[in-house]
Structure 1
């Protein structure tokens, strides 16, 4: 785990809130001149702390009105089955996040689709094709009560 000083934490917070800041804007916000600010950002990138930059796309604006959370339980946990399950989850574009769990269920998949009919088709063609699948339990989200938030850097 990397160690951070207050300026690094401030840089990370600012970039998580707006990854499109210019180096000058970022430097002004964190109280540095541009050159040392750029060196710190490059160090955070080179060390893997900053893994990349993305745009946050509004689901509703692109017609993806349905968010489903599918909890998957497997019958077998052999390395071959786990590898196949994870490859399948990564291959389905509508699965936007997937987590290996501890507890009663084995995986949690966040799925975004345009309709319940599309989710049903995805369930029939993709999710039920997962090897050694025992059960799928789906919960649908009505609203986002807390959107993607910056990580609380220690």
Structure 2
């Protein structure tokens, strides 16, 4: 096993490497990504294992951090968060203090789904879900405009989501 950095700075956890994950593990992972509430008995039947062997494998995948959590995927439209906005942010500097301050502050904005440190024209790319342009204006005024170290911001509104998945490819 190798040590992998989690998204919490300074926190490490042992994680299985892909070489330690066999074909049965990959089938388990693929099924759980699509049907997280599948029963162990059904999962075992679908991967051709006994329920106890399947349960042990799932536990191992959880304990090693390959399976980090189980979540419910919500319908953004049903929650009136049907508009996705991508915000490119350029910072005024690249020092650790500027980057850390920005990252700490952006984590506190509940509307931000994702924040990525980028290589390219922007320093960060945010994915935000909002009700409409007025809602984005509120978030911009209350949160985004107050982020530390921001030199420039460009926002793009998604017209339509063509494809979306949360499933990470698990094939070798």
TM-score exceeds 0.5: yes
Using the alignment, how far apart are the partners of 1:121 and 1:149 within structure 2? 28
Using the alignment, how far apart are the partners of 1:114 and 1:88 within structure 2? 22
1:51 matched to 2:103: no
Structure 1's consecutive aligned runs of 4 or more residues displaced over 2 angstroms after TM superposition are none
1:39 matched to 2:41: no
Aligned residues: 154
Q: Does structure 1 retain, via aligned residues, the 8 Å contact 2:105–2:148?
A: no
Give the gaps of 5 or more residues in structure 2.
Answer: 1-16
Q: Does structure 1 retain, via aligned residues, the 8 Å contact 2:90–2:153?
A: yes
- Which residue number in structure 1 is paired with residue 138 of structure 2? 121
Q: Tell me: higher relative CO, structure 1 or 2? Use CA pairs within 8 A at least 6 residues apart.
A: 1
Using the alignment, how far apart are the partners of 1:42 and 1:11 within structure 2? 11
- Which residue number in structure 2 is paired with residue 74 of structure 1? 91
Higher helix content, 1 or 2: 1
1:134 matched to 2:151: yes
User: 64, 87, 97: which one pairs with 2:104?
Assistant: 87
Using the alignment, how far apart are the partners of 1:82 and 1:44 within structure 2? 33
1:12 matched to 2:19: no
CA offsets 1:52-74 (integer angstroms, 9 cap, x no match): 00000000011112110000001
TM-score by length of 2: 0.86
